[in-house]
Amino acid sequence: MTRTAEEIGRGLAAVREARAIPAGERIHVVGVAGAGASAAALLAHHAGAVVSGCDAGGPSPYTAAVEMAGIDLAWQHSADHLTGDVAHRPQRVAVTKALTAVDPDHPELVAARTTGVPIEAWQQVVADVAAGAGQRLIAVAGTHGKSTTTGWLVDLLVRDGRDPSAFVGALLPASITGAEPATARWGGGDLFVVEADEYAGNFDPYRPATALLLNAEWDHPDVFVDQQAVEDAFLAWLGAAAAGGQTPTLIANTDDDGVARICRRLDSWPGRVVGIGFDVTRSASVRGRLQTAPGEPGMLTVERAEGTQISLTVGLPGSHNAANALAVVAVAHELGVSDDALRASLADFAGVGRRLELKGEFGGVVVLDDYGHHPTAIARTIEAVRQRYPGRRLWAVYEPLTFHRTASMLARFAQVLATADRAVIADIWAGRDPDTTVTSSAALAEAISALSETPAIAPGSVEATAAQLAGEVRRGDVVLVMGGGRSYVIAQLLVEALAGSTARSG
């Protein structure tokens, strides 16, 4: 069932112009263990708010930094968090729209409505932090590659001494945050970099001075009925960015069909459009050429708008990361970043958490963890792994994200997963999906098996999947774990099992 952004966000306060957070404002974050919500909590805390948070799912990889900041966290939901002494009651509640979609009668939401406490998307908090700091907003949008590209931009700006603030939907390493790995960075410079997600209008509070649009594909079938709806959402967001007299710059990957169509509809848009791409048949101001060799870093040559040229080593593998790197180069040029910082960042940036992250190699078995959960992203990730580990047997281990997405794209998922040497499908992570009857992990495994010489398997839970893998992988294998729910547990448990086996055999 497709629902509008308004239906999903019902009960939330309307999106408004960002404003500075008053010192001492009490903000309560529900679902604080999520990537974005944890960032909102951290950034609001650094901006001077009194922040609390709760999550019935318990601690996550994102909450260590929140706890280190001294933010008060509770591992259960309770109406008591919103009631009691008025002097200590939160003055607003920040949530993810996934909660308002799945559980509009959640006890804390009911308590907030009863006590008159405004409920806002956590993205509004992030936008308010940027407004209060007077920082110029740089937003990275698109269906794929947002987290890697946003993290890459933050890494670049840190190397250039720009001291940016940031929100990224994946863990930034301590070398970038200056503290615990986290999804947020607090800086004193003039720039604030955000990952801007199109789901149900999540990016609506952001009014960027510079927007980067990587790609625009149909995703989130519970929100967007078709490709046209996706493109309309991006256009509406860009239109809002140009409101109030601001003249934003859009850096657009015109190699992508969806982005190219969006750009053709921007004739009356008051902003400036800078096209980037590799395809010489398409119009772009910034043009890239990539040279690659198996197992070696890529060499990216970029012809910039004013006619200068620069050659850069790209440390992250795959054509999709070359496209991300080209986008980083284009933004760097707009912001006046030094070429020395650009060369260092493109060559040395190791990526963000769960984006082709190397978890370890034990007994000759490589284990990688990735957030990929869309057919295009999975195909590009498999391509990158083949490039980095040529000639090795590749296991594609996938935990599908939501039943609705899996059912809508089942044939496409099967096609890309069948390109691996072995495919393993864990139980589907329902997330915000209320209908768990439309398909199954077994159905996806069957569809893959029909296209592959080696049958795919569906062992069950993430725990069962890790256990089966531990008994079947062999020296020389590369295991690529993908998914957006609890798939990281598969990689974690497999690493533990392989490490223990290696220790025993040693």
DSSP string, 10-75: TTSPPP----PPPTT-EEEEETTTSHHHHHHHHHHHHTT-EEEEE-TT---TTHHHHHHTT-EEES
Kindly state the percentage of the chain with pLDDT values over 90. Answer: 82
pLDDT digits (tens, 9 = 90+) for 210-228: 999 999 999 888 889 999 9
Q: Which fold has domain 135-348?
A: UDP-N-acetylmuramoyl-L-alanine:D-glutamate ligase (3.40.1190)
pLDDT band at 3 (very low <50, low <70, confident <90, very high): low
Angle, CA of 439, 382 and 470, to the nearest 5°? 75
User: What is the reported pLDDT for 221?
Assistant: 85
Give the mean pLDDT of 273-299.
Answer: 90
Task: Say how far apart CA 140 and CA 146 lie, in whole Å.
Answer: 6
pLDDT of residue 381: 95
Pick the CATH number of 5-124 from 3.40.50.1100, 3.40.50.620, 3.40.50.720, 3.40.640.10: 3.40.50.720
183 pLDDT above the threshold of 60:
yes
Beta bridge partners of 213: 141, 252
| Average pLDDT of the residues in 169-177 | 95
Q: What is the CA radius of gyration of the chain?
A: 22
Q: Rounded mean pLDDT of 159-177?
A: 96
Q: Is the dihedral of CA 5, 10, 15, 18 positive or negative?
A: negative
CA distance 133 to 344: 28
3-state secondary structure of 274: strand
Q: Residue 397: its pLDDT value, please?
A: 98
Q: What is the mean pLDDT of the chain?
A: 93
Structure tokens at 383: 């391509």
Q: What is the pLDDT of residue 344?
A: 97
Query: What is the mean pLDDT of the segment spanning 470-486?
Result: 96
What pLDDT band is residue 304 in, cutting at 50, 70 and 90? confident
Q: Where are the domains of the chain?
A: 5-124, 135-348, 357-505
Least trusted range by pLDDT, from 262-271, 288-297, 362-371: 288-297
pLDDT at residue 298 tops 80: yes
Query: pLDDT higher for 283 or 242?
Result: 242
| pLDDT score for 470 | 97
What confidence tier does 8 reach under pLDDT thresholds 50, 70, 90? low
Encoding tokens for residue 188? 């004193």
Instruction: Say yes or no to pLDDT of 6 above 80.
Output: no
Counts of helices then strands in the chain (DSSP H, E)? 18, 21
For residue range 20-51, what is the model confidence (pLDDT) as tens digits? 999 999 999 999 999 999 999 999 999 999 99
**Structure confidence at residue 10 (pLDDT):** 72
Q: What is the pLDDT of residue 505?
A: 63
pLDDT for residue 295: 77
Q: In the numeric block, which tokens belong to residue 397?
A: 């281990």
Q: What percent of the chain has pLDDT over 70?
A: 97
- Looking at domain 357-505, which of 3.30.565.10, 3.30.70.360, 3.30.479.30, 3.90.190.20 is its CATH number? 3.90.190.20
Residue 506 pLDDT > 60, yes or no? Answer: no
The confidence score (pLDDT) of residue 105 equals 85
The residue-averaged pLDDT of 346-375 equals: 93
CA distance 180 to 66: 9
Strand partners, 369: 357, 481
**What's the pTM?**
0.90
Distance CA 354, CA 490 (A): 12
Answer for the pair 447, 337: CB distance below 8 angstroms, yes or no: no
What does the pLDDT look like over 307-321, one tens digit per residue? 789 999 999 988 899
**Pairing label, strands 72-74, 182-185:** unpaired
pLDDT of residue 220: 84
At residue 13 the predicted structure's pLDDT band, cuts being 50, 70 and 90, is: confident
Q: What is the pLDDT of residue 503?
A: 58
Mean pLDDT across the stretch 5-29? 87
Using CB atoms within 10 Å of the CB of residue 299, give its burial: 0 to 12 exposed, 13 to 18 middle, 19+ buried: middle
Asked if 298 and 322 count as a contact pair (C-beta separation under 8 A), the reply is yes
